[in-house]
């Protein structure tokens, strides 16, 4: 499965099919927009590179949904998975508490 210029990892396909029709449309629109923009010009207000060696980005789909994307110059970007922002906030809070 592909959406615009983005490959979809099997986890992402499964998660995408679980989204309601409105969120699926938002994902399609956001990926269509980003397929028109070179990686170096992806807007920081909507996408953040995650720490680590692998080029993984967190893309804001809407207020509550994020997509994890593997993207490197000269390669087709791949959506790896989707996550609710509330779940990411919970994990960040748990991780911060584990460091105490």
Q: Determine whether 23 is exposed, middle or buried from the number of CB atoms within 10 Å of its CB (0-12, 13-18, 19+).
A: middle
Instruction: Say how far apart CA 35 and CA 11 lie, in whole Å.
Output: 20
Q: Which pLDDT tens digit goes with each residue over 42-77?
A: 999 999 999 999 999 999 999 999 999 999 988 999
Overall number of domains in the chain? 1
pTM score > 0.85 for this model? Answer: yes
Range of the domain at 91: 2-98
Task: Residue 61: give its domain's CATH number.
Answer: 3.30.2310.20
Structure confidence at residue 92 (pLDDT): 87
CA 10/CA 33 separation, integer angstroms: 22
Instruction: Report whether pLDDT(99) > 70.
Output: no
**Angle, CA 59 vertex, CA 56 and CA 61 arms, to 5°:** 155
């Amino acid at each position: 499965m592909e959406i615009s210029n983005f490959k979809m990892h099997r986890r992402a396909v499964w998660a995408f099919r679980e989204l309601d029709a409105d969120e699926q449309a938002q994902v399609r629109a956001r990926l269509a927009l980003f397929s028109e923009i070179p990686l170096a010009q992806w807007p920081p207000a909507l996408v953040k590179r995650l720490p680590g060696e692998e080029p993984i980005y967190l893309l804001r789909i809407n207020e509550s949904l994020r997509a994890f994307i593997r993207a490197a110059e000269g390669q087709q970007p791949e959506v790896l998975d989707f996550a609710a922002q509330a779940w990411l906030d919970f994990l960040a809070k748990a991780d911060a508490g584990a460091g105490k």
